[in-house]
Structure 1
Amino acid sequence: MHPLINVQTLAQALTDERPPILLDVRWHLAGPRGIEAYRRGHLPGAAFVDLDEDLAGPPGVLGRHPLPTAEAFTAAMRRAGVSADRLVVAYDDADSTAAARLWWTLRYFGHDRVRVLDGGYRAWVDAGRPVTTGEPEVPPGDFTARPGRLPALDADGAATLAKSGVLLDARAAERYRGEVEPVDPVAGHIPGAVNAPTLGNVGVDGRFLPPELLRERFAELGATDAADVGVYCGSGVTAAHEILALTVAGVPAALYIGSWSNWIADPAHPVAVGEF
């Protein structure tokens, strides 16, 4: 199943006898909580999923956004109406950063029918599609989380891949170089990692670049379907967006879930600064 869906195709699918489950996962790292945006307007029938509460466990040495337990994720997805046999479509404001985390996490826990609305809420509104402020009564789903269905890395695996394969750092270039660090207490990157800022995966409208352009972008960094590829970011959120872009490009990749926030929790881990 292609990981993306456009507005027209989604609108048609919502008229089916068994329409997709819509999940609104708008999230603002340094602003109002996503639930506030959801209450101001969302796709009809969409349930809200909180990235911090539903798609991550408590922050700590495992990272700022470690994976939730299978039990907690099962409960969250059932509350949102997710069932194993129903297509799920996730969306956020526009660029799919948060929606990609939901896409990856659902697939990691065993749900194969998940897509992301390309361009998100903005694309839906710009196309003149209806929105609502009413919160739907969502029938409970029957999804059961079974972890390990996608490749994932821990710190040791990321360090090995940085030497033997291609480890992409999805953060902004200035964070990769260690010039600034607005979130974590240590600046820099994993030695051997290659910078590939996730914003380079989308256009100004928030939609993903065409597959051929994504393939070209990643190939220039050594990330092809012939290489072992992994991705990390600050806490594992934007890295999932990079995984989604790589999937569109036809390049399999593993996610370092704990990412930089987990790496620096161990003072024995080396830190690099600068371009390499």
Structure 2
Amino acid sequence: MTGPLISPRELRDLLARDDDAVTVLDVRYRLGGPPGAQQYAAGHVPGASYVDLDTELAAPPGEGGRHPLPAPADFEAAMRRAGVRADRPVVVYDDWSGHAAARCWWLLRHHGHDDVRVLDGGWSAWLAEDGAVAVETSAAESSEPGDFTAQPGRMPAVEADQVLDVPVLVDARAPERYRGEAEPVDPVAGHIPGAVNVPTTTNLRADGRFRSPEEIRALYAAAGVTGEEDVAVYCGSGVTAAHDVLALELAGIPAALYPGSWSGWITDPTRPVERG
């Protein structure tokens, strides 16, 4: 496999050749939606293990925002439970336009696993292309635990005290949240001063799959994101921002993640807020 994405057909072919050729992680999640574990139990990609975003891909909420990065030891334990191995590729999918899957992709890459792909189009694309569906009640099908060792630092990240120094800061939220016209989740509306807005919806075609690298480069360039200067991305809680990081990787533009994002930024009332 090459690149950060894999198509349903490519995944189907991999699984058909060898059940042990790839580790599949189901990270279905929707903010305010039905629990992903219930969706997993109702049907999932054969051999997939379920990973919970709130408890395994994030630490408890606090000064670091609504979804702080998990402690490396906790993330390592979660990935081992899910059967992740250092020598085996990983494919991650969700049913939330790739947002949760991108978070897991970023975390695995950040903690040292270099062979990770997001299923392009997610669960709906898998079903649309007649992918097989398994139904079990266990949230982890792996017959044996993985051996993944977390070694954080492989993907760039910035903290709150560095954010204002980033030459190009991207806000991945919806435009109305960026402008401060509406804030349905966090207690303060607005954005970090100097940030430009490139919503994650920009990254996808109408069918829910990622745009081509050429299209992504052009759309980001229109917002001043060209890769000529360092780039960092944030969102509401550090989850959907990983979607922009993944899209920028497709376009050949490296970008750092600000994990605390807006929900972490506003925990300190002395930090500046911009609207409009």
SS at match of 1:22: strand
Aligned residues: 271
1:138 positional shift = 3.5
Alpha-carbon displacement from aligned partner over 1:46-81 (angstroms, at most 9, x marks no partner): 000000010000110111100111110010000000
Partner residue, 2:189: 187
Partner residue of 1:263? 265
Task: Report the Cα distance in structure 2 between the residues aligned to 1:59 and 1:227, rounded to whole angstroms.
Answer: 32
For structure 2, which runs of at least 5 residues remain unmatched after alignment? none
Alignment-mate amino acid for residue 164 of structure 2: A
Of 114, 117, 120, 1:115 maps to: 117
| Aligned equivalent of 1:83 | 85
The structural deviation recorded for 1:16 is: 3.2
**C-alpha separation in 2, matches of 1:137 and 1:105:** 20
**Once superposed, what is the RMSD of the aligned Cα atoms?**
1.0
Q: Deviations over 1:81-115 (max 9, x none)?
A: 00101000000015111100000000011110100
Aligned to 2:4: 3
SS in 2 for 1:153: coil
Q: Percent of aligned positions with the same letter in both sequences?
A: 59
Find the counterpart in structure 2 of residue 15 from structure 1: 16
Shift of 1:15: 2.5
Kindly provide the CA deviation profile for residues 208-242 of structure 1, in whole angstroms up to 9, marking residues without a partner as x.
Answer: 01111001011111212222111000000010001
Structure 1, residues 123-179: CA drift from partner, whole Å, max 9, x if none? 110011210112434410000111111100111211111xxx110000000000001
* 1:204 positional shift: 2.2
* Correspondence for 1:248: 250
**CA distance, structure 1, for counterparts of residue 142 and residue 132 of structure 2:** 18
Aligned mates of 2:134, 2:268 — CA distance in 1: 46
**1:111-260 pair list within 5 angstroms:** 111-134=113-136, 135=138, 136-161=141-166, 165-260=167-262
C-alpha deviation, 1:33, in angstroms: 1.1
Answer whether contact 2:112 2:152 (CA < 8 A) is retained: yes
Report matched runs for 1:50-61 at 5 Å. 50-61=52-63
Instruction: Give the TM-score, by structure 1 length.
Output: 0.96
Kindly report structure 1 stretches of 4+ aligned residues shifted beyond 2 Å. Answer: 15-18, 135-138
Question: What's the counterpart of residue 103 of structure 2?
Answer: 101
SS at match of 2:163: helix
SS at match of 2:17: coil
- Measured after TM superposition, the shift of residue 13 of structure 1 is 1.1
What residue number does 2:49 align with?
A: 47
Alignment check: 8 A CA contact 1:151 1:254 kept: yes
Q: Decide whether the 8 Å contact of 1:94 with 1:118 is kept in 2.
A: no
Contact residue 175 and residue 199 of structure 2 kept, 8 A: yes
Contact 1:181 1:187 in 2 (8 A): yes
